[in-house]
Structure 1
């Protein structure tokens, strides 16, 4: 079967993890078709999807120009894209030591930022009962993660290699969502000036603005 676009991206409108893949696809000028799964309807648990990802989570990327190679877990996808298709090293680094620092930050995103920020939204919006202690715990974890970023970005412009990389781009969506959600709780990126300046640079990029415009149109 032939495909008009090189990639198929299985994703979701509301969830953040597919959008960070879309940012990188856009930055690298790669062509892709997005298929938006309805998580409330359980589409991510159906055999049509779990044949690609047995874990039943988005995103999944299929590379049609590489024998329909299938990959899941968003940071693994980001590494695949830059290793295979970022020939100009636009979003990655060349030095081996710096590459491991890049991977370090991607692990920080996937094990530190994503789960804690996600649990904040779960207990705020979806849990069957209000659990104030859980809400407070994960709100405090957001502040902690932003503090970690502030300690680094107050000394340098980017997380690794003195340049924009996928390490920076992986953190955009959760930071934007949390910043918007926490304005009424006395916590925002305004309290972390270096993180705020860095985040604004990321949000101003053409690929990011284009992707957010797509997301906004789909949310209407």
Structure 2
């Protein structure tokens, strides 16, 4: 019997990546909610697992050679889980490289840039027109890259893979990013197909009751974006 993975998470795009992957791969897991608005990510016990105080993070009691392993960084976790199960990451060197290429595109481009777009359009305490335009335009460019790629293949690496799982949650709120999904028909086709997968639907239910429905309070904003990011680490 497979030992359950302990997953430390919150219902964010990066958290949903791992929820979806675990569901797709059929791995058992225990959820440990890390309320990032309340500052749970700065607790000493969590920092031992995730030194960068970010979710998601996980502990697999049945790691390499049967030894426990703690991991942070969602991209590293996706690769680890794919290799552990032999799923969603091809063993063929060419196909593996293509998959990792698009995974890194998400990690280095889609996640950081769309995250900044969300921040300056919705969370920044003041409106900064230059920042809003700069990141919204870059988000549009990334959508165009994805749309072009998905006009050539069904999924980012050809077959459904961890690259798709990594990217999809970041596009759920395309309207908040100043985007029109109808302007990217290939991307829209891909987005809707993935959204209909049972494992994706189930993964999105993890901690759904804790999903943000109200604006950040001043205290939460300070914890997430302000001086407390440094104060809590000192």
Fold-level match, TM-score > 0.5? yes
Per-residue deviation at 1:70?
0.4
Q: Distance in 2 between matches of 1:63 and 1:155?
A: 37
Which residue number corresponds to residue 81 of structure 1? Answer: 81
Mapped pair 1:12 → 2:10: yes
The secondary structure found in structure 1 opposite 2:37 is: coil
Which residue number corresponds to residue 171 of structure 1? Answer: 167
Q: Which runs of 5+ in 2 are unaligned?
A: 214-234
The secondary structure found in structure 1 opposite 2:38 is: coil
Which residue number corresponds to residue 147 of structure 2? Answer: 150
Which residue number corresponds to residue 181 of structure 1? Answer: 176
Task: Output aligned runs, 1:39-54, within 5 Å.
Answer: 39-54=36-51
Judge conservation of contact 2:106–2:167 (CA < 8 Å) in 1: yes
Which residue number corresponds to residue 107 of structure 2? Answer: 110
Per-residue deviation at 1:126?
2.0
The secondary structure found in structure 2 opposite 1:33 is: strand
Q: Distance in 1 between matches of 2:21 and 2:165?
A: 8
Q: Distance in 2 between matches of 1:62 and 1:216?
A: 22
Q: Distance in 1 between matches of 2:142 and 2:61?
A: 37
TM-score by structure 2 length? 0.84
Which residue number corresponds to residue 96 of structure 1? Answer: 93
Which residue number corresponds to residue 205 of structure 1? Answer: 197
The secondary structure found in structure 2 opposite 1:157 is: coil
RMSD: 1.6
**Deviates most, 195-204 or 122-131:** 122-131
Judge conservation of contact 1:5–1:33 (CA < 8 Å) in 2: no
Q: Which runs of 5+ in 1 are unaligned?
A: none
Per-residue deviation at 1:119?
0.5
Which residue number corresponds to residue 68 of structure 1? Answer: 68
Judge conservation of contact 2:5–2:29 (CA < 8 Å) in 1: yes
Judge conservation of contact 2:19–2:206 (CA < 8 Å) in 1: no
Q: Distance in 1 between matches of 2:32 and 2:3?
A: 12
Instruction: Rate the CA distance shift 1:122–1:37 in 2: closer, same or farther, 3 A.
Output: same
TM-score by structure 1 length? 0.89
Q: Distance in 1 between matches of 2:104 and 2:129?
A: 28
